[in-house]
Amino acid sequence: MLDLYRLSAAQLAAWLIEHGFAPVHAARLMRYLYRDGVADAAEMTDLPPRLRATIQRDTHLSPLKLMRQTVSADGLTRKFLLGLHDGETIETVLMRYEGRWTACLSSQAGCPLGCVFCATGQAGFRRNLTTGEIVAQAVFVNRTLSKQTRVDTRGQRRESLRNIVMMGMGEPLLNYDAVVAAMDVVCDRAGLAIGGKQITLSTVGVVPGIRRLADERQPCSLAVSLHAANQTDRARLVPAARIWPLDELLDACRYYTTQLGRRILFEWTLIAGQNDSVDHARELASLLQDIPAQVNVIPLNLTSGFDGEPGSHAAREQFSATLHEYGLPVSIRQRRGLDITAGCGQLANA
């Protein structure tokens, strides 16, 4: 069975021709699949009956099964545990920030990189997701959103997904081809029409992948999870640093920013006593002095496999203020969905 969600608009047109249909149906089919979120070919009434029958017979449109859903008390964060055809489960999160809905998508079932504070890393790796499984998460949350806003807003404009972050389960650059193909599909104007810059790909520092993003001039924004500004501390928190050491990572980041003229968002999970002091902030500022950068300070999500504590509010403020003094733009990630274990991997482990 073909997974239609893995096809770009051009591939969809080619598939139509191959099956004896006019490629002109591709645009309407894209609308059904992505904008309307139709998961049953019988509802695609603008398509010829023979095409609907072919879609029903040869493809599948619902690769994800909702296993569990949690909604934060403030209603701004929804987390979905989704089942795949082979029994694996992944997490997808929908969040509202500053009036826009953002989806946090998974790229792998589990993760092989084992960052010590991450629930997904603690649970190990199972497999890469396919392009269709990545795209289907975006379609799933967009469909959920449009159903919800149709019910909730009494005549207001229907809301849709505007931003995607590849920060769910898995390391996206270890599943490069599938992730990049999925970004192509969700950016297509006939489909979800998400702008390339509205997609942020977050990596823990897979150096060859960062260089490849630069060489291919991929339109997404890049976030790098740093968490420590020297090799020894970083290798303790992020075992992948033993494969791609800090100096090689920074070289790749310089290459990326030079090639593309874009800055990088560096993520820093603040852990009490481990990376939250003024000295840590100074070390970070010095490390990033020649790279166009912004730092995103992230409060630690507690997990059972890591005994670190989140940095205090005072430490967070002091850390950010120090970076500001050195001229580094800083943002502090809002804590979202704490009441629904919205940290990566927490719902699946539960």
- In 3-state terms, what secondary structure has residue 245? coil
Closest to ligand SF4 by CB, 63 vs 110, is: 110
Among 115, 166, 185, 323, interactor with ligand SF4 by CB under 6 A: 115
| Residues 331-350, mask of contacts with ligand SF4 (x by CB under 6 A) | -------------x------
Judge contact between 335 and 76, C-beta under 8 A. Answer: no
With CB under 6 A as the rule, give the number of residues binding ligand SF4: 12
- For the question of residue 159 being annotated catalytic, the response is no
DSSP H or E stretch at residue 101: strand 100-104
Distance of CA 130 to the CA centre of its chain: 14
Residues 6+ apart with CB under 8 A from 189: none
Question: Does 271 contact ligand SF4 by CB under 6 A?
Answer: no
List binders of ligand SF4 among 92-111 (CB under 6 A). Answer: 111
Judge contact between 332 and 293, C-beta under 8 A. Answer: no
Among 3, 68, 96, 114, interactor with ligand SF4 by CB under 6 A: 114
Among 92, 120, 131, 301, interactor with ligand SF4 by CB under 6 A: 120
88, 91, 118, 253: which one is catalytic? 91
Give, in order, the Cα–Cα distances in Å from 123 to each of 119, 141, 200, 313, 344. 6, 25, 24, 29, 11
Closest to ligand SF4 by CB, 23 vs 239, is: 239
List binders of ligand SF4 among 135-194 (CB under 6 A). Answer: 169-171
Question: Does 239 contact ligand SF4 by CB under 6 A?
Answer: no
- In 3-state terms, what secondary structure has residue 80? strand
Question: Does 205 contact ligand SF4 by CB under 6 A?
Answer: no
- For the question of residue 111 being annotated catalytic, the response is no
Question: Does 204 contact ligand SF4 by CB under 6 A?
Answer: yes
Judge contact between 290 and 328, C-beta under 8 A. Answer: no
For the chain, the distance separating the N- and C-terminal CA atoms, rounded to the nearest angstrom, is 32
**Residues labelled as active-site residues:** 91, 344
> Rule CB under 6 A: which residues touch ligand SF4?
111, 113-115, 118, 120-121, 169-171, 204, 344
